Structure 1
């Protein structure tokens, strides 16, 4: 059994690895509607703000990341963070995502968020199972949410309350 990965806040020098992990997922066409590959410069906008961005590192190499963004620009939703998680293909199936998500839950609580949300392709059963194990609730399905390469996809909306910040 291998040791769990090191999870830490993303740094500027992680940008290329984060972009490469995202671009590998983009090429698979199974977890994002985006079609434009990301560059390290695109990742700059994510770093150093209120919304946590974490990486999982193994032997000095970034093998996964999770990022959060604002759920909505409306002030009344400032306590909600939307998240995305991506694991490098060679690191999948080893609980890397679970370790990363557990750290994200703690980091989001520490940043004052009261809820995490995301949208997951309905066909992405591994991600849905992981989120279910971590206490995320499947709120509903958006049917034919968007097309990807000419095929419409349903997405499942998930959420998790962070009780320490529900006041």
Structure 2
């Protein structure tokens, strides 16, 4: 069953559907397209490895596929339990849909769920990635970094 979300005018602008095992290849391809420029900039792009890392870590149970009208694979996101919090990973949007507010809307929805559970959320983003600005706007702060990744955390918002 899909969760549908709109912009308030009665139409669904995007929705999440549960991931399925058969999504793995399409999601691996999306990952390769989305991460290519950043990985090349970091000298880390490998045509095979970028897809295999997704395949190796793919969990349909914690993955949602983002769909929009006319785009059955607009993106994907994984939000899985990790310790006392959640780990956000594999958050990719089709390049044509980036910069239009969809990533913000999806992330806000997921963070609202994390806040309701009083769970911190952790993620890693490639150094120099434009996605880091989105995460910082949504309250994530740098926890650590290495030569490739910036590790970030967002504590749950206080209950009102």
Say whether the fold is shared (TM-score over 0.5). yes
Match of 2:128 in 1: 123
Verify the 8 A CA contact 2:39 2:45 in the aligned structure 1: no
- Superposition RMSD on alpha carbons, in Å? 3.4
Higher mean alpha-carbon deviation, 52-61 vs 4-13, is at 4-13
Q: Give secondary structure in 2 for the equivalent of 1:38.
A: helix
Does residue 64 of structure 2 align to residue 54 of structure 1?
A: yes
In structure 1, C-alpha distance between the alignment counterparts of 2:158 and 2:119, rounded to whole Å: 7
Q: How far apart are the structure 2 equivalents of 1:69 and 1:103?
A: 15
Deviation at 1:21, TM superposition (A): 0.9
CA distance in 2, matches of 1:96, 1:68: 17
> Structure 2 length normalisation: TM-score?
0.68
Please show how residues 36-47 of structure 1 align to structure 2 within 5 Å.
36-38=49-51, 42=55, 45-47=58-60
**Distance across 2 between alignment mates of 1:54 and 1:109:** 18
Deviation at 1:22, TM superposition (A): 0.8
Counterpart among 9, 16, 37 of residue 7 in structure 1:
16
Greater RCO (Cα-Cα under 8 Å, separation 6 or more): 1
> What runs of 5+ residues in structure 1 fail to find an aligned partner?
72-77, 147-152
Output one character per residue of 1:9-63: Cα deviation in whole Å (capped at 9) or x when no partner: 3233433331221121343344996741426x92784012xxx322211224111
Structure 1 residues 45 and 136 mapped into 2: Cα distance closer, same or farther (>3 Å)? Answer: closer
TM-superposition CA deviations, 1:75-114 (whole Å, max 9, x none): xxx222222211122221112211221232244456x571
Q: Which position in structure 2 is the counterpart of 1:100?
A: 106
